[in-house]
Amino acid sequence: MALIKNAEGRKKSETPSGYERLFGNSELGRLISKCHATVITSGNELEKFLADRLTKINGVSIANVNKEKRVLKGAKHGKNIIIDIVIEKPNKIMLIELKDGDTFDTKKVAGEIESLILAKNYLVKFRKIEEKNITIHYCSFNAINHEQIKKGAKGLLPEDSAMTGKELCKELGLDFEKIVDERRKYQKANLNYFLEELLNITELKEKIITILKRS
């Protein structure tokens, strides 16, 4: 998990963020935007986090591990398709889109599913792989079950394509619970940083002190 203190967030010189408009405080707005950026960074780093812990890389393409295997040149209307994770086993190829969260943007889901389907069709047509041997998966790493993933994807997922992080880790030969525990590494540091930064905002510090006095 990434550190909030390392995130850039919204700059003073930039247009006020939605968080500033929501709370009416520019410093708080910038702090929340740093939190938002950190969540995105953590999600982007998930592939590499998993790749760094693989003990067997044969047949697995993720992050920079066997990267060429997950790049399909010209597969999407002449443009390249880059699959997050490709797992190859005897008579089976899994094309996997990896997400850290469980609530997704509708248009983005549609585009990602289209890419997975086009990638599957590409492998069938140009690499002569039987369609029945290729499966597509939409993995929400922290989701508890398939229903949660389907709901987050607004019902746009093809049948049997939802995948949990636990299921993905099993395919990769990784310990899901251990991975989750390792990703908690910076939680305490992030909480302390967030609280300290809150108290550095004079307006908020005064309000917090007033509330504490009442209680």
Q: Which long-range contacts does 132-136 make (Cβ < 8 Å, 24+ apart)?
A: 133/91, 133/92, 133/93, 134/92, 134/93, 134/95, 135/92, 135/93, 135/94, 135/95, 135/160, 135/161, 136/94, 136/95, 136/96, 136/97, 136/161
Does residue 17 sit in the same domain as residue 93?
no
pLDDT tens readout for residues 82-116: 999 999 999 899 999 999 988 888 999 999 999 99
Does residue 61 sit in the same domain as residue 140?
yes
Contact 136, 120 (CB under 8 A): yes
**CA 62 – CA 125 distance, rounded (Å):** 23
pLDDT tens readout for residues 178-211: 999 999 999 999 999 999 999 999 999 999 999 9
Does residue 61 sit in the same domain as residue 116?
yes
Q: Looking at residue 37, what is its pLDDT?
A: 93
How confident is the model over 36-57, as a mean pLDDT? 94
Is 206 inside a domain boundary?
no
Is 207 inside a domain boundary?
no
Sign of the CA dihedral running 11, 22, 7, 81 = negative
The pLDDT mean for the chain works out to 94
Number of domains in the chain: 2
Cβ neighbors of 153 (< 8 A, separation 6 or more) are 104, 109, 138, 162
pLDDT tens readout for residues 118-135: 999 999 999 999 999 999
Is pLDDT of 1 > 80?
no
Q: Looking at residue 103, what is its pLDDT?
A: 85
Is 141 inside a domain boundary?
yes
Q: Looking at residue 102, what is its pLDDT?
A: 86
Place of tokens 């599957």: 120
Q: How far apart are the first and last CA of the chain?
A: 35
- Domain containing residue 143: 56-175
Does residue 87 sit in the same domain as residue 11?
no
Q: Looking at residue 8, what is its pLDDT?
A: 86
Indicate the length of the chain as a whole number: 215
Is 213 inside a domain boundary?
no
20: confidence class by pLDDT, cuts 50, 70, 90: very high
Place of tokens 């289209």: 114
Is pLDDT of 157 > 90?
yes
Longest Cα–Cα distance of the chain, Å, equals: 72
13: confidence class by pLDDT, cuts 50, 70, 90: confident
Q: Looking at residue 114, what is its pLDDT?
A: 96
Domain CATH code at residue 90? 3.40.1350
Q: Looking at residue 11, what is its pLDDT?
A: 83
16: confidence class by pLDDT, cuts 50, 70, 90: confident
